[in-house]
Chain A
Amino acid sequence: MRNALAIARRELQAYFVSPIAYVVTAAFLLVSGYLFAAILLLSQEATLRYLFGNLTTILLFVAPLLTMRLLAEEQRSGTLELLLTSPVQDWEVVLGKWLASLGLFAGIMLLTGYYPLILWRYGNPDWGPVLTGYGGVLLLGGTLLALGTLTSALTSNQIVAAVLGVGLSVLTWLIDALSQFTGPPVSGVFDYLALSTHFYDFLRGIVDTKDVVYYASVIVVTLFLATRVLETRRWR
């Protein structure tokens, strides 16, 4: 575990000198700031609910951009062999990389803290839903970053990793649409599998343990699969 944290720290430092991280962060904040202001001025409501609802769609495309480099670049430059042959477990590499991306993402969300400050200045927001909204965005973001880490493990090309990540994220987000074509109990399974259906309660100010269990499970499975993919390099 300590190794994973060391890798995470190293990877976070790499983010700080990576132009892509700055560009992606700035672009994301630009879009979210615009959405926040537009929604606030139109609705006149002291809530972040609608903002979070819109941000999720953007996250589907932004999260893979944050993770595309993680393992793909190591494979391209050949440094992955060094990492894998060092006395570090494969899962520690994957976990560390994912933690780094999560740290960066948390930092970005910290910068959006400017929005609730405005709400507080000009209104009396209900802090419960603001809190659960942030919690939900972090859980969903963590899940999307895990999916991106997996696709980054699959290829040595960053662009391919990003595109695969977007595809996988959007598919997992929308898979509940399949429930329209199937009857119960299969439709219930599709509804349950979708990333989107578990986000709704967080927006409203409700925390349901089953949503937390779902996101945590997807993160665990995805990071586990990413580790297995790295492992194949040993025997492929």
Chain B
Amino acid sequence: MRARIHSIATYLVYAGLLALIIGLGLYLVTRQFNTVVEVLLGLGLVLIGLFIVARPEQVKQALTGRTARYGGSATLMSVTLIGILVLVNFLGNRHHKRFDLTASKEYSLSPQTIQILAELKEPVDITAFFTASYYYRQEADDLITEYLYHTNKLNYRVIDPELQPGVARQYGITRDGTMLFQQGDRRQEVYYPDEKSITTAILKVTQAETKTIYFITGHKEHDPEGTGQGSYSTVRQALLDENYQVSTLNLATITDTVPVDAAALIVAAPQIPFSDKEAETLRAYLDGGGKVMFLTDPTLPNVLGNDYLAKWGFRLRDDMVVDPVNAFFGDYLTPLVSRYPYSTITKDLGGLSSFFPVARSIEPMAELPDGAITNRLIETGQNSWGETDLQNRQLSNDKSADAQGPLVLGISAERTDSGGRLVVFGDSDFAANEVLNTVSGALGNKDLFLNAVNWLTEEEILISISSKPADVRQITPLTGIQQRLILYSSIGIMPLVVIVAGAWVWWNRR
């Protein structure tokens, strides 16, 4: 028996190895440790065991021979080195440094973002819902890579909603490219991967208390909860998306002060004058360091009063702005603005135009009262004027009576003594549904409104982050001759140099 086994031992070991390979292969493919796999693996081990029993001297030689000793030591050395390098790479991956050598620091995050990331205490989960064809996928990944470099408090994962529709449904995601930021039960969605949106989202989901914005009601103001053309439900939704709470407030119901949780009040074009008491409540709130946005239109009551506004460094004129040059689709009464004076609120609106249907102008005072700082937000063109003769149907620039352009349509002001902040717009329709919903979203109206609210509620760290455009450097336009010169010389010169050098060497060695 033993002799028989001895003579076929070589075949046994091959059969055994074959059984092991097939068994392992089956397991790798099916990922199931079923009977067939077990039998094959068992059989392989038994056959190899038989070989060992049958030819112990051969096994012994293979294990202790010269080859085994040298081979073993070579393997051991290799495994040791690879182990060390795996460790080095593991540590190198954890503690790495990145150097952005682009001239514009194109891929570096702003100091504000880095600071926010450094102050993160609890982890934030970022779930990106990207299909394979999502256009900004790479951009988003690259940007998140920079965020992950600065903190280990972010957990980033990507879900393909086409491959895992259940997960997308579970999170209520319907739009490709949505990035969902979550901490605890706070969530914030981002639809375009730029630094400002992502940092805003991180800040919003990590802030414990949400800020409440109150819209004043009771005087036929724009209604944030209505759905009509003139109502403010679109900006209300935008505020909710930015994690603000939005509520309404009737000043007449207030016995003492404005609610303490008010981050800002919005007075959206009251058509009926405030009672003295209401106006007094509003002014007292501002003087106590409150934040107010006041939007109004031509002929509507100036509920704060020019005497009071003078304290902030400007007045409202009783006029109607006419701009025959920068007019929205030829409507002289709808000035269009695409260049903004520099201010915290407008500095990232460059290139986004906004327009203001039927507006009145604001007169900044030449001499600012003590403690007031103002910033112009919107200015109309040189050729505009403030029509004061509102009875006459014929528009005419009466240079003696009418204010001459550029005219200020929006202004921000703050009092250094109380810390109060006030934003006034000479137009209220620019943020109404009819404008925001009917005209393409690329316009700056909504951003202007939101930036102003962010400024009022002191989310300044968010306002000051601007997205960096890609640094594309065009070459000067080339003439036909230059194009051909570049083409032929790039292709020809260097290979020719090499071939001539080769031929020369060959000639000399011949």
Contact = CB atoms under 8 A, between A and B. Distances in A.
Interface of A: 16-17, 19, 22-23, 25-27, 29-30, 33-34, 36-38, 40-41, 44-47, 111-112, 114-115, 118-119, 122-129, 131-132, 192, 201, 204-210, 213-214, 217, 220-221, 224-225, 228, 231-232, 234-236
Given A33-B491, A125-B473, A208-B98, 6 more contacts: A40-B475, A127-B103, A206-B99, A224-B78, A231-B74, A234-B70
Contacts of A112: 494
A54 B353 CA distance: 40
Contact of B473 (A17, A19, A25, A123): A123
B366 interface: no
A30 B487 CA distance: 11
Interface in B458-506: 471-478, 482-483, 486-487, 489-495, 497-499, 501-502, 505-506
Interface residues of B, number: 53
A217 B107 contact: no
A206 B104 CA distance: 12
Contacts of A119: 475
A201 B145 CA distance: 11
A236 B92 contact: no
13 contacts: A19-B502, A33-B492, A40-B475, A122-B478, A124-B473, A125-B473, A128-B102, A205-B101, A213-B88, A213-B92, A217-B89, A224-B78, A228-B74
B85 interface: yes
B107 A208 contact: no
Interface in B73-130: 74, 77-78, 81-82, 85, 88-89, 92-93, 96-104, 106-107
A225 B476 CA distance: 50
A111 B499 contact: no
A213 B99 contact: no
A122 B502 contact: no
B77 A228 contact: yes
B102 A204 contact: yes
Interface string B377-411: 00000000000000000000000000000000000
A26 B498 contact: yes
Contacts of A234: 70
A19 B509 CA distance: 12
A225 to B, nearest CB: 6
Given A213-B88, A214-B89, A228-B74, A207 B483 contact: no
Given A33-B494, A128-B103, A235 B474 contact: no
A27 B496 CA distance: 10
B476 A122 contact: yes
A212 to B, nearest CB: 8
Contacts of A213: 88-89, 92-93, 96
B482 A111 contact: no
B104 to A, nearest CB: 8
B498 A22 contact: yes
Contacts of B103: 126-128
B236 to A, nearest CB: 40
Contacts of A129: 101-102
B475 A123 contact: yes
Contacts of A47: 473
Interface in B114-164: 142
A25 B509 CA distance: 20
Contacts of B483: 41
B377 to A, nearest CB: 34
Contacts of A115: 490
Given A44-B475, A45-B473, A208 B501 contact: no
A23 B503 CA distance: 11
B486 A37 contact: yes
A131 B104 CA distance: 15
Nearest to B492: A33
Interface string B438-464: 000000000000000000000000000
Residue of A201, A210, A220 most packed against chain B (CB within 10 A) = A210
Contact of B88 (A204, A217, A228, A231): A217
B502 A235 contact: no
Contacts of A30: 491, 495
A44 B494 contact: no
A217 B100 CA distance: 23
Contacts of A40: 475, 486, 490
A217 B502 contact: no
Contacts of A232: 70-71, 74
A41 B474 CA distance: 11
Residue of B70, B81, B92, B499 most packed against chain A (CB within 10 A) = B92
B494 A29 contact: yes
B470 to A, nearest CB: 10
Nearest to A202: B101
A37 B487 contact: yes
A26 B101 contact: no
B70 to A, nearest CB: 4
B169 interface: no
A204 to B, nearest CB: 6
B82 A221 contact: yes
Contacts of A27: 495
B473 A126 contact: yes
B174 interface: no
Residue of B77, B107, B474 most packed against chain A (CB within 10 A) = B474
A214 B70 CA distance: 29
A66 B471 CA distance: 37
A164 to B, nearest CB: 19
Contacts of B66: 235
A101 B20 CA distance: 42
B471 to A, nearest CB: 6
Nearest to A234: B70
Contact of B85 (A132, A201, A220): A220
Contacts of B474: 44-46, 123
B67 interface: yes
A107 B58 CA distance: 53
Contact of A205 (B71, B107, B475, B476): B107
Contacts of A132: 101
Given A33-B494, A204-B107, A122 B99 contact: no
